[in-house]
Amino acid sequence: MRKLDRYLPILDWGRRYNRSALSNDVIAAVIVTIMLIPQSLAYALLAGLPPQAGIYASIVPIMLYALFGTSRALAVGPVAVVSLLTASAVGQVAEQGAAGYAVAALTLAFLSGAFLVLLGVLRLGFFANFLSHPVISGFITASGLLIAVSQIKHLLGISAHGHTLPEMLSAIFSQLNETNWITVFLGVTATAFLFWVRGRLRPLLVRFGAPKLLADILTKAGPVMAVLATTVAVWAFGLDAHGVGIVGDVPQGLPPFTFPSLDPELLQTLLVPAILISVIGFVESVSVAQTLAAKKRESIDPDQELIGLGAANLGAAFSGGFPVTGGFARSVVNFDAGAETPAAGIFTALGLAVAAVALTPLVYYLPLATLAATIIVAVLSLVDLSILKKTWAYSRADFASVAATIFLTLGLGVEIGVASGVAISLLLHLYKTSRPHVAEVGLVPGTQHFRNIHRHAVETDPALLALRVDESLYFVNARFLEDLIRSRLQEGPEIRNVVLMFSAVNEVDFSALESLESINERLKDMGVGLHLSEVKGPVMDRLEKSHLIENLNGRVFLSQYGAWIALARHSEPSAAEAQRR
């Protein structure tokens, strides 16, 4: 039963579910549902899909995540960055509005879900670590800018297109003469109102004596207020007849059963974008889930999260949706509203189902400019250009990866941007580990500790070279250690013993083993002893299976101090020692 609980966490928290948790989950669900209705419609618009697709993508996926996910507060559904990636990927195989576009979106969700489930079953969640935090920050910042710029066309009432920043700006400027000023007024007013609600409404309500819970609900309902006000304005004044773009007919009903395409050519085209969406979505989702879990001293299982998110995406593929993941804003709202279990997600899904059945006719006159305003206000909070300054001050290598990710994403598109960011991260990692930090160490007087001779006042022996290797040794950096020892021996012809301090070495691969054997043979020919100290047990186990220890031109010491005692005394005595003798 315990093994089944691992794959179906609902069996664990469901046994302890009580009336108090039910009450808290229902309250949280009401707040998140109010927030999700306009958000879902807006993110469907961003993905290039009909508005109902956003609601569909927020019903079945949420329920499936509640069954398989391990986070108590994560709220799954469409998010801005994944919606942008969806539009970019699907736009390569079909035109927006065409029948094949929606099918391609379903197929993308299917591939993403299958990939995530596969990683979860094989417990390969660590693959997501190949996306470094600087790359993620740079990509999200660039994506936020792209998303905001992509929505300007809806604020202006024009039909500009493009996937990169230069393309978008060029298209917008070329069509400025077609601007619909009524649309501009609605869009700018809605945007300003939403910014005001986000920053000023809650403190204002609290100041006037409103309960904090009510203030929170009204603040999160800000987009709903904007939707209601602008929808009524368009309907009452017939603004759609004056060129204001509206949502129009939205099918009324529960999510339909859909089936992704199994066309080999389409699957091959969408495979790489699906992997990118999966990894980015997983990293974003797990970061949020771990942050919220830590606040309650809880934990999540990243590998099971892969399965939960994979099941959610598979659910989206078979219920008229598109790729989903855990959203930062709605998850924080869910947490702050008091959600205690994933059941809050199930109640949210039920609320959205009611909206899909009963409320969709009410959004007929909803202006697209209002949805664009909702997206812009949401994504601008993701933009953090200060990451450039921070990484420049801390690490030029990280700055290079952030800057490259931002500018390539803006200039060449989201897929090339994130792929380049991953490639740069890997190349920088390989470069850094190809030149491991190796410190020459000496004895701190009066202690048994050894420290870098360039940072501390330490005792050394000219005939003894002690090197602390601060990195695991593998094929990329094996030759570096060889070259370093050769160079140091040329500088110090009096050296008679070399000790490699392995306290920080966790792995020695076969290439590094061969390099150590080569060093051993070369030093033997020179009449110089090669010794090892503080070798970790697992590393020693591997070395003992080779011929290195058997043929070692020296000894293996339990501690560096032991090596110092055994070897330094046999070196040529200093002048002071000679006088004492």
Residue 384: count other Cβ atoms within 10 Å of its Cβ.
13
| pTM (predicted TM-score) | 0.75
Instruction: Spell out the long-range contacts of 534-538 with Cβ–Cβ below 8 A and sequence spacing 24 or more.
Output: 534/501, 534/502, 534/503, 534/558, 534/559, 534/560, 535/502, 535/505, 536/502, 536/503, 536/505, 536/506, 538/506
Residue 444: count other Cβ atoms within 10 Å of its Cβ.
14
- Give the model confidence (pLDDT) of 536-554 as tens digits: 999 999 999 888 998 999 9
Cα 108 to Cα 64, 111, 347, 412: the distances in Å are: 18, 5, 27, 21
Residue 117: count other Cβ atoms within 10 Å of its Cβ.
20
Instruction: Map out the domains of the chain with their CATH numbers.
Output: 20-424 (no CATH), 438-580 (3.30.750.24)
Alpha-carbon span 48 to 53, nearest angstrom: 10
Query: Cβ distance 531 to 559 under 8 Å?
Result: no
Q: Which region among 138-147, 454-463, 513-522 has the lowest average model confidence (pLDDT)?
A: 138-147
Q: Which region among 77-86, 87-96, 291-300 has the lowest average model confidence (pLDDT)?
A: 291-300
Alpha-carbon span 313 to 344, nearest angstrom: 19
> How much is the average pLDDT of 135-164?
86
| Higher pLDDT, residue 244 or 3 | 244
* Total residue length of the chain: 581
pLDDT of residue 577: 37
Residue 533 is inside which H or E element, if any? strand 529-533
Provide Rg for the chain, Cα atoms.
Answer: 30
- Give the model confidence (pLDDT) of 34-54 as tens digits: 778 888 888 998 898 998 999
Query: Cβ distance 508 to 466 under 8 Å?
Result: no
> Is residue 438 over pLDDT 80?
yes
> How much is the average pLDDT of 520-531?
93
